[in-house]
């Protein structure tokens, strides 16, 4: 039985540093160059995932991120930049989330 459940982190070193834990991810992991599964196997660790989670799981993940300083990768944009942001997304130039600065709504 795992001692602690941790939530998604994009660094393989995070998983390799966990002890007798389960890592839960809600997102695709993608290619992890240099990832070594041996520490996971030898340390009786587990990686599990789901395309969605419930309210309790989401709150637990947010609490963990708040305690450990894990922040989302995002770019703040003004509402006037929305079309450019969408075009960048369509070209595959964005690997994180856009956040619209709601204070710029009055500028539009």
Q: Tell which wins on pLDDT, 47 or 87.
A: 87
Judged against a pLDDT cut of 60, whether residue 1 lies above it is answered with no
Residues 7-53: pLDDT tens digits?
A: 444 444 555 555 556 666 666 666 767 777 777 777 777 777 666 66
Which sign does the torsion angle of CA 6, 11, 12, 16 carry? negative
Give the largest CA-CA distance in the chain: 56
CA 90 to chain centre: 21
Q: Are strands 46-49 and 74-77 parallel, antiparallel or unpaired?
A: unpaired
Continuous segment of H or E residues that includes residue 13: helix 12-17
Q: Kindly indicate the confidence band of residue 5, based on its pLDDT and cuts at 50, 70 and 90.
A: very low
Q: Tell which wins on pLDDT, 95 or 48.
A: 95
């Amino acid at each position: 039985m795992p001692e602690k459940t941790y939530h998604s982190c994009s660094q393989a070193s995070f998983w390799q540093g966990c002890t007798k834990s389960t890592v839960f991810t809600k997102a695709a992991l993608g290619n992890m160059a240099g990832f070594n599964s041996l520490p996971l196997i030898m340390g009786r660790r587990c990686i599990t995932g789901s395309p969605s989670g419930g309210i309790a799981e989401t709150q637990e993940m947010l609490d963990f991120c708040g305690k450990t300083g894990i922040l989302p990768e995002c770019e703040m944009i003004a509402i006037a930049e929305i079309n450019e942001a969408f075009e960048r997304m369509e070209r595959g130039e964005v690997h994180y989330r856009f956040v619209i600065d709601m204070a710029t709504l009055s500028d539009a």
